[in-house]
């Protein structure tokens, strides 16, 4: 009889079976010949030789060794002899099932076992595809019924097993099937992970913050290779086009992926670059499925603010051929999204003294209330106290409209000519296009000496103007037409080759390219001067506003049109990766070594268009293109005139023809060559199993920074080396408790803006250098320690605590440095028409004062803890047993680090039966720092930490057909940025919302 291992009980697929054994069989005398071995292997042989079915919890026997069993025994006596001293016992439950229990089993059975008939099979977990295939054939021959735990609950079980079996700190998100990723956006799924927070734009997750670090400190891979992904953004996010190391997750449709791993601690075999951690994305492959697979989903999205319907569809088809030697998979995902983002902004508050521009001395406004500052002064001279009061710089109503299209396509081809070789080609293509029209109705308070305060009301704190009426104010209506496209392509060829029983070779070569471009035409419609009033008395975020009597705010004749911007931007990111690993494996240890080569390049270009002379707004205005402006906000937004772009383009008032601006162009390239060696082993420590990982990685980085300065090409080359040791320990203290200890030295390379040398300012008379990057920067370096304890106290249950400490020993700062200008710039300076020898500022001999980024060896610490609780509440009576909860809390302490929320939590409550299920998820993070100091006199600028609540549900009409209903942002949470003024204040810079997104869908699979 051949060895049979059928169900993946706890490690891979959460299958479970019921086996029946007649008690008469237990007394039968049977000859046994089983050597001392690992319990899963010994029990397989035991079942073969006794011709019985036994249910075995794989995760609880794989680390146990059994005794030798040779001779003729009854089944009962044989089991006692085989399992003596192992902590395992053969038992029979009330249903007549034979199963293995442990000393710690209270009920002697696993809650996930379901009642089905087996004849002669051992229920053991398996891990190889080849074994899985043979078992599938066995099950068909024996007409075995299989019951698989599916849905969100099944995904959680897979993820928990991945976490438990890893030697390093790791979290996973597993899609139960293609197109069934837990969230509609990859970033929003990742935010459910402990330690992860996300930043949103236009109501959609864009970047992630892992354990307090900004997005550029997290490395992202796709199908095994590091990849770039960038797109454009709103000006409130400070992004024209993402040319940094930060990964824009919203470029990809979530339907393209079936797994995400978040590596929180490092190993030597992992490529360097992520101090915060590494996010590994995986698309589906044909050998993931058994033969033919087809799945499709169709959803209609409705936003209750835009009141638009948007389609979202995906399909995948996969099959294997030629006796499963060849497989092919194709998946396509397409979606449209209509975004309507509305709110009010001030573009920061400020004081006249902070801007060095005070109200006219002739102004004698009526002041209601008391001003806190008695001694208001500018440059040492006393000025009127009202000049120390905070007031909005550009009070404005905001409208951001965006029509978005996203397309993703994956292709995977696999070839397995023998059991010892598997070759995979993965191809991924993604497109994201945005057509934006942005409108803002600003009142011009930037030049305080040109406006006249007539009456003001001071807030109770005496520091800000709560309400005010002013004369001589201009209305500036800003209208922007933006189009952007981001295209991503990746090709990865990989292979796994078994050279012998002990030796495995893995090789990969891949190329990824991301191109993002944007065109923007921006106009200001500037009005005649008039009176204007604002009043924040009833709402500190959105004021009541009005204009003076006799002034028609909506009359186009009151406006002149000027061109504020007509520009294009283009960023191209290229990554080329090749690596080869060799692994030598024995029973309880393995040695892995390898080398990796990466060639990364980022190119940025800018184009300038024409700027026509000012013209009358008559004939070039239209009403704001929404009828219910401000719907859903706590406050009144007043509609306003906007630019009629169609009329402007029709009359050729402006052209979208762009001339390349060489002075703004730059290229930064990095070539890295790395080698590593790593030892993995399993060691018995008494009755405990210790999994260890030791390794070291060495990497050399060559940096090249190129730009065009004063008409001359300039190229600067630098290099550095890093030595990165790491170790991970995972100890199975008991069958249910796992503890981990990790140490690693990690690095993150400087952001590209710090390496960019384009557009420097050379002051020849002052002998100064500013706005110049530093390609000679060394990377951030950190010594990381992680300690965790995980208690798997019941089936589908986990209680865990993780502590982490990162000592960043090398970081960056902008400093003043006296030195000679580097020789690479000499030719460009001497060719500059502004340079004159009479200045006695020869860059070859005279030191200049440099204001440049430099390395800072003072360092800083990031530390914190994560608490995790997850459980299916199967112990509850009746229908309540289908409830479950997944929750985590993270606390991070890191001082004044931008993007850091000190506290964050996630919670999901789900209810799931075979035919239907639903879940509600909440995600919250504390307010976090955007900049320190803030602009316009603020001590700091902050971002409000929202609480986002999402809902998801499904109903299985049949085994193949499922209906779905989902709501994203159930409470229509607002996004808000504010300044702290003197450090104690809360002054809204902008507040907006995007509405609730509802999805009704259907999914079909074969």
Q: What is the pLDDT of residue 539?
A: 95
Choose the weakest-confidence range: 144-148, 572-576, 734-738. 144-148
89 touches 83 (CB < 8 A): yes
Backbone φ/ψ region at 94: left (φ over 0), alpha (ψ -120 to 50), beta: alpha
Choose the weakest-confidence range: 239-253, 554-568, 927-941. 239-253
Percent of all residues in the chain with a pLDDT value above 90, rounded to a whole number = 66
- β-strands 65-66, 54-55 pairing: unpaired
Q: 305, 334, 408: which is closest to 998 by C-alpha?
A: 305
- The SS3 call for residue 25 is helix
- β-strands 465-473, 688-709 pairing: unpaired
Q: Is the pTM of this model over 0.75?
A: yes
Q: What is the pLDDT of residue 105?
A: 53
Q: How confident is the model at residue 813 (pLDDT cuts 50, 70, 90)?
A: confident
Q: Where are the alpha helices (DSSP H) in 729-785?
A: 752-755
Strand-pair partners of 212 = none
Task: Retrieve residue 48's tokens.
Answer: 């073969």
- For the stretch 404-437, pLDDT in tens is 999 999 999 999 999 899 999 999 999 999 999 9
Sheet holding 54-55, edge to edge: 88-92, 98-102, 54-55, 122-123
Q: How confident is the model at residue 2 (pLDDT cuts 50, 70, 90)?
A: very low
In the predicted structure, residue 762 carries a pLDDT above the cut 80:
yes
Number of residues written out for the chain: 1006
Mean pLDDT for 671-675 is 97
List phi, psi (to 5°) of 889. -135, 140
908 touches 869 (CB < 8 A): no
In the predicted structure, residue 59 carries a pLDDT above the cut 80:
no
List phi, psi (to 5°) of 885. -140, 140
- For the stretch 639-660, pLDDT in tens is 999 999 999 999 999 998 999 9
Distance CA 135, CA 112 (A): 20
Strand-pair partners of 712 = 709
Choose the weakest-confidence range: 44-48, 476-480, 667-671, 918-922. 44-48
Percent of all residues in the chain with a pLDDT value above 70, rounded to a whole number = 90
Strand-pair partners of 614 = none
Q: What is the pLDDT of residue 608?
A: 93
Whether omega for the bond prior to residue 933 falls within 30 degrees of 0, making it cis, is yes
Distance CA 888, CA 907 (A): 7
Residue 857: which H helix or E strand, with range?
none
725 touches 698 (CB < 8 A): no
In the predicted structure, residue 222 carries a pLDDT above the cut 70:
yes
Distance CA 811, CA 91 (A): 60
Q: How confident is the model at residue 16 (pLDDT cuts 50, 70, 90)?
A: very low
DSSP state of 374: S
Residue 330: which H helix or E strand, with range?
strand 326-345
- β-strands 947-956, 941-943 pairing: unpaired
402 touches 433 (CB < 8 A): no
Q: How confident is the model at residue 247 (pLDDT cuts 50, 70, 90)?
A: confident
Distance CA 518, CA 503 (A): 50
Task: Retrieve residue 565's tokens.
Answer: 């911007």
Q: What is the pLDDT of residue 245?
A: 82
- The SS3 call for residue 190 is helix
Q: How confident is the model at residue 295 (pLDDT cuts 50, 70, 90)?
A: very high
Distance CA 560, CA 621 (A): 11
Distance CA 1002, CA 406 (A): 20
C-alpha pair distances (Å), 771 with each of 50, 755, 851, 852: 79, 11, 7, 7
Residues 6+ apart with CB under 8 A from 917: 151, 152, 153, 882, 910, 911, 953, 954
In the predicted structure, residue 351 carries a pLDDT above the cut 60:
yes
Q: 274, 288, 280: which is closest to 259 by C-alpha?
A: 280
Q: 945, 933, 919: which is closest to 155 by C-alpha?
A: 919
- For the stretch 96-108, pLDDT in tens is 567 787 765 533 3
Mean pLDDT, all residues of the chain: 86
DSSP state of 658: -
Q: Where are the beta strands (DSSP E) in 686-711?
A: 688-709
List phi, psi (to 5°) of 118. -125, 150
- The SS3 call for residue 82 is helix
Burial 312-331 (b: 16+ CB within 10 A, else e): bbbbbbbebeeebebbbbbb
C-alpha pair distances (Å), 681 with each of 8, 268, 503: 24, 14, 16
Q: Looking up tokens 């079936």, which residue turns up? A: 258
Q: What is the pLDDT of residue 234?
A: 63
Dihedral (CA of 10, 12, 13, 18) sign: negative
Task: Retrieve residue 539's tokens.
Answer: 């709402």
- For the stretch 507-538, pLDDT in tens is 999 999 999 999 999 999 999 999 999 999 99
Strand-pair partners of 694 = 679, 727
Mean pLDDT for 183-207 is 79
- Burial of 383 from C-beta contacts in 10 A (0-12 / 13-18 / 19+): middle
**CA angle, residues 581, 582, 588, in degrees to nearest 5:** 125
Q: Looking up tokens 């573009």, which residue turns up? A: 347
Task: Give the chain's end-to-end CA distance (angstroms, integer).
Answer: 33
Query: HSE-up of 84 (CA within 13 Å, CB side)?
Result: 10
Q: 957, 887, 956: which is closest to 917 by C-alpha?
A: 956
In the predicted structure, residue 14 carries a pLDDT above the cut 90:
no
Q: How confident is the model at residue 604 (pLDDT cuts 50, 70, 90)?
A: very high
- For the stretch 279-288, pLDDT in tens is 999 999 999 8
In the predicted structure, residue 110 carries a pLDDT above the cut 60:
no
697 touches 672 (CB < 8 A): no
Mean pLDDT for 351-374 is 93
524 touches 544 (CB < 8 A): no
HEC string of 925-975 equals ECCEEEECCCCCCCCCEEECCCEEEEEEEEEECCCCEEEEEEEECCCCCCE
- For the stretch 700-733, pLDDT in tens is 999 999 999 988 899 999 999 999 999 999 999 9
Distance CA 219, CA 263 (A): 10
Task: Retrieve residue 899's tokens.
Answer: 């993007």
Q: What is the pLDDT of residue 348?
A: 94
For residues 25, 29, 34, 40, the Cα torsion angle rounded to the nearest 10 degrees is: 10
Distance CA 507, CA 541 (A): 56
Mean pLDDT for 43-69 is 79
Comparison of pLDDT for 61 and 809, the residue scoring more: 809
Choose the weakest-confidence range: 6-10, 208-212, 811-815. 6-10
Task: Retrieve residue 669's tokens.
Answer: 């390239």
Distance CA 188, CA 603 (A): 29
Strand-pair partners of 672 = 598, 701
Distance CA 990, CA 926 (A): 18
925 touches 907 (CB < 8 A): no
In the predicted structure, residue 204 carries a pLDDT above the cut 60:
yes
Query: HSE-up of 490 (CA within 13 Å, CB side)?
Result: 33
Mean pLDDT for 131-137 is 37
């Amino acid at each position: 009889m051949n060895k049979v291992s059928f169900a993946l009980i706890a490690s891979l697929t959460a299958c479970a079976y019921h086996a029946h054994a007649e008690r008469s069989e237990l007394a039968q005398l049977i000859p046994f010949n089983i050597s001392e071995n690992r319990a899963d292997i010994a029990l397989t042989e035991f079942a073969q030789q006794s011709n019985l079915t036994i249910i075995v919890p794989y995760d609880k026997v794989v680390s146990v060794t059994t005794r030798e069993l040779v001779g003729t025994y009854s089944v009962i006596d044989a089991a006692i002899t085989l399992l003596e001293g192992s902590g395992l016992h053969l038992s029979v439950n009330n249903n007549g099932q034979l199963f293995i229990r442990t000393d710690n089993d209270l009920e002697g059975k696993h809650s996930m076992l379901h009642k089905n008939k087996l004849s002669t099979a051992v229920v053991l977990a398996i891990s190889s595809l080849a074994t899985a295939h043979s078992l599938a054939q066995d099950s068909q021959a024996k007409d075995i019924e299989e019951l698989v735990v599916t849905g969100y609950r099944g995904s959680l079980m897979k993820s928990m097993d991945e976490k438990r079996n890893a030697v390093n700190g790791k979290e996973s998100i597993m899609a139960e099937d293609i197109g069934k990723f837990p969230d509609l956006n990859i970033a929003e799924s990742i935010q459910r992970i402990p330690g992860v927070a996300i930043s949103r734009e236009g109501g959609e997750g864009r970047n992630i913050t892992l354990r307090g670090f900004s997005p550029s400190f997290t490395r992202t891979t796709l199908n095994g290779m590091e990849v770039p992904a960038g797109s454009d953004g709103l000006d409130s996010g400070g992004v024209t086009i993402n040319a940094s190391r930060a990964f824009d997750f919203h470029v990809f449709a979530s339907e393209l992926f079936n797994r995400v791993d978040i590596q929180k601690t490092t190993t030597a075999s992992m490529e360097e670059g992520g101090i915060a951690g590494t996010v590994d994305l995986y698309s589906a492959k044909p050998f993931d499925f058994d033969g033919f697979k087809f799945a499709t989903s169709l959803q209609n999205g409705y936003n209750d603010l835009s009141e638009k319907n948007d389609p979202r569809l995906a399909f995948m088809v996969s099959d294997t051929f030629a006796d499963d030697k060849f497989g092919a998979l194709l998946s396509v995902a397409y979606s449209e999204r209509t975004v309507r983002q509305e709110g009010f902004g001030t573009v920061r508050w400020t004081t006249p003294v902070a801007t060095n521009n005070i109200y006219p001395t002739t102004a004698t406004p009526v002041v209601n209330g008391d001003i806190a500052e008695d001694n208001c002064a500018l440059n040492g001279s006393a000025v009127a106290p009202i000049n120390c009061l905070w007031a909005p710089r550009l009070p404005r109503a905001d409208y951001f409209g965006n029509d978005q299209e996203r397309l993703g396509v994956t292709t995977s081809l696999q070839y397995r000519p023998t059991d010892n070789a598997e070759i995979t080609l993965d191809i991924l293509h993604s497109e994201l296009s945005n057509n934006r029209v942005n409108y803002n109705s600003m009142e011009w308070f930037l030049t305080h000496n040109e406006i006249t305060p007539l009456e003001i009301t001071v807030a109770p704190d005496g520091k800000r103007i709560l309400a005010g009426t002013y004369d001589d104010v201009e209305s500036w209506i800003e209208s922007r037409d933006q189009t952007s496209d981001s295209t991503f392509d990746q090709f990865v060829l990989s292979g796994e080759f078994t050279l012998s029983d002990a030796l495995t070779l893995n090789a990969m070569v891949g190329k990824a390219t991301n191109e993002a471009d944007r065109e923007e035409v921006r106009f200001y419609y500037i009005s005649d001067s008039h009176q204007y009033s604002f009043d924040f008395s009833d709402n500190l975020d959105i004021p009541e506003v009005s204009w003076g009597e006799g002034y028609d705010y909506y009359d186009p004749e009151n406006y002149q049109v000027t061109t504020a911007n007509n520009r294009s931007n283009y960023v191209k990111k290229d990554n080329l990766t090749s690596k080869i690993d060799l692994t030598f494996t024995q029973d309880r240890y393995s040695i892995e070594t390898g080398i990796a080569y990466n060639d990364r390049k980022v190119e940025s270009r800018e184009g300038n268009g024409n700027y026509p002379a000012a013209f009358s707004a008559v004939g070039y205005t239209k009403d704001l293109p929404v009828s219910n402006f401000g719907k859903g906000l706590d406050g009144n937004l007043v509609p306003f005139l906007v630019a009629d772009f169609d009329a402007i383009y029709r009359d050729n008032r402006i052209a979208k023809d762009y001339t390349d601006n060489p002075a703004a162009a730059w290229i930064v390239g990095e070539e890295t060559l790395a080698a590593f060696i790593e030892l993995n082993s399993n060691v018995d420590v008494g009755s405990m199993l210790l999994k260890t990982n030791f390794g070291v990685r060495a990497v050399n980085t060559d940096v090249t920074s190129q730009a065009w300065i004063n008409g001359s090409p300039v190229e600067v080359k630098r290099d550095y080396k890093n030595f990165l040791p790491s170790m991970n320990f995972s100890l199975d203290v008991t069958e249910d408790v796992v503890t981990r200890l990790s140490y690693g030295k990690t690095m993150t390379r400087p952001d590209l803006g710090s390496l960019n040398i384009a557009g420097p300012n050379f002051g020849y008379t002052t002998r100064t250098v500013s706005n110049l990057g530093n390609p000679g920067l060394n990377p951030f370096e950190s010594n990381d320690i992680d300690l965790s304890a995980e208690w798997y106290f019941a089936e589908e249950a986990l209680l865990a605590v993780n502590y982490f400490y990162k000592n960043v020993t090398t970081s960056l700062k902008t400093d003043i440095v006296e030195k000679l200008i580097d020789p690479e710039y000499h030719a460009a300076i001497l060719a500059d028409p502004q340079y004159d020898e009479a200045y006695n500022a020869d860059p070859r001999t005279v030191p200049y004062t440099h204001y440049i980024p430099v390395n800072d060896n003072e360092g800083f610490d990031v530390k914190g803890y994560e608490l995790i609780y997850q459980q299916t509440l199967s112990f509850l009576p009746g229908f309540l047993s289908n409830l479950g909860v997944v929750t985590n809390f993270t606390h991070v302490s890191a001082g004044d680090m931008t993007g850091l929320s000190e506290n964050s939590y996630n919670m999901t409550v789900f209810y799931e039966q075979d035919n239907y299920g639903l879940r509600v998820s909440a995600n919250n993070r504390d307010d976090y720092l955007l900049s320190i100091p803030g602009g316009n006199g603020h001590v700091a600028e902050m971002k409000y930490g929202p609480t986002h609540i999402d809902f998801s549900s499904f109903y299985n009409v049949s085994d193949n057909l499922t209906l779905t209903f989902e709501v994203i942002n159930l409470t229509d949470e607002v996004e808000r940025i504010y300044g702290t003024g003197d450090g104690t204040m809360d002054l809204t810079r902008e507040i907006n919302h995007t509405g609730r997104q509802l999805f009704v869908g259907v999914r079909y699979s074969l």
